[in-house]
Amino acid sequence: MKALSQKRRHPLAAIALLLMGLLITGGLYAVATTVNEAKASTTSYSADDVEEGGKLFAANCATCHGMGASGSEAGPSLVGVGAASVDFQVGTGRMPMQMNGPQAMKKPVQFNDEQTRQLAAYVASLGAGPAIPEEGLLDEGGDAAAGGELFRVNCAMCHNAAAAGGALTRGKFAPALADVSGKHIYEAMVTGPQNMPVFSDSNITPEDKRDIITFLKQIETTGSPGGADLGSLGPVAEGLFVWVAGLGVIIAFTIWLTSRTS
């Protein structure tokens, strides 16, 4: 103790103390919160999957993402993006990307389920990242009303309250969510593809995500109680309809009423 008290006025003492403090706080935080821990589930993939995925990656993805997915000028590094990201991007056809643009567009899927799984296995093996969600979170058995509230607060400003999509800046957009599988919705929330923010498990818990998926699937199956929904686009579509169809039909009637039979 004497040695310690003698060195307490050492010029580096303050720095050492600061370092110690930071390490302890950081360490405690890391221990206390495990929700943000990246869930690497490489265990479920065989070494064979990883090897096959590596081959597929080298043939189809490495041009932009670089050998070993380390990234290049044309594409970001994929180390640590996790299997969920690969499953979303490849599974919805966004990757391999058709062309450069404001954001990757959805298109017909280029790989079968087996190949997608192998690619995911390979990327997951490179570094820990969000895993593909378990079936239990996607069963649409959550609370739709709670999911609706979460959706309106967190998602509707881009995706529209009826999930019909919306515009972002400079040609980017939030897509409509009808016909998107629960798995892809979940993966989008945890990985934040394109311009979407990441909704981590500490932000929206897995159960809340399940509620959101339940809500989206419910409004999709409920359909539109009031007749054709005109794209669920709100008053612009309604205004266009009343001017074109409503007034159009009425003008046709006025012409008929005032035409003379000669």
Partner 1 sequence: MSAASTAEPAFVAKTKTGRVTDFVDQRVGGSGILREFGRKVFPDHWSFMFGEVALYSFVILLLSGTFLTFFFDPSMAETHYDGSYVPLKGVEMSVAYSSSLDISFDIRGGLFMRQVHHWAALLFVASIAVHMLRVFFTGAFRKPREMNWVVGGVLLILAMAAGFTGYSLPDDLLSGNGLRIIDGVIKSIPVIGTYISFFLFGGEFPGTAVIGRLYMLHILLVPALILLMIVLHLFMVVVHKHTQYPGPGRNDNNVVGYPLGPVYAAKAGGFFFIVFGVLALMAGFFTINPIWNYGPYDPSPVSAGTQPDWYIGFVDGALRLMPGTFGDWQVEQTWLGFVFSFNVLLPALVPAGILFTVMFMYPWIERWVTKDDREHHVLDRPRNAPTRTAIGMAGFVWYCVMWAAAGSDLIATHFSVSLNDVTYWLRALFFIGPIIAFIVTKRVALALQRKDREIALHGRETGRIVRLPHGEFIEVHAPLDEYKRYKLVGFESPQVLPAVPNEHGVVTRKEKRRAFLSKWFFEDRVAPATPAELEAAHGHGHEAVEAPEAAKSLSH
Is residue 47 a contact point for partner 1 (CB under 8 A)?
no
Which of the stretches 27-35, 63-71, 186-194, 236-244 binds partner 1 when contact is defined by CB under 8 A?
A: 236-244
Q: Under a CB-based contact definition with an 8 Å cutoff, are residues 192 and 198 in contact? A: yes
- Total residues contacting partner 1 (rule CB under 8 A)? 58
Mark residues 174-213: x for contact with partner 1 by CB under 8 A, - for none: x---------------------------------------
Is residue 76 a contact point for partner 1 (CB under 8 A)?
no
Nearest of 259, 130, 122, 151 to residue 210 by alpha carbon: 151
Is residue 227 a contact point for partner 1 (CB under 8 A)?
yes
Is residue 100 a contact point for partner 1 (CB under 8 A)?
no
Q: Under a CB-based contact definition with an 8 Å cutoff, are residues 207 and 136 in contact? A: no
| Shortest distance in whole angstroms from residue 241 CB to partner 1 | 7
| Shortest distance in whole angstroms from residue 192 CB to partner 1 | 17
Distance CA 187, CA 96 (A): 17
DSSP conformation class of 202:
T
DSSP conformation class of 24:
H
The three-class DSSP label of residue 166 is: strand
In which residue are the tokens 């670089």 written?
Answer: 66
Side-chain half-sphere of 27: how many Cα atoms within 13 Å? 6
Which of the stretches 19-27, 65-73, 197-205, 232-240 binds partner 1 when contact is defined by CB under 8 A?
A: 232-240
Sole binder of partner 1 in the list 71, 93, 165, 192 (CB under 8 A): 165
CB-based contacts of 207, cutoff 8 Å, min separation 6: 137, 142
Distance CA 123, CA 131 (A): 11
Sole binder of partner 1 in the list 6, 169, 261, 262 (CB under 8 A): 169
Binding site for partner 1 (CB under 8 A): 102, 144-145, 148-149, 152-153, 156-162, 164-171, 173-174, 215, 218-219, 222, 224-230, 232-239, 241-243, 245-247, 249-251, 253-255, 257-258, 260
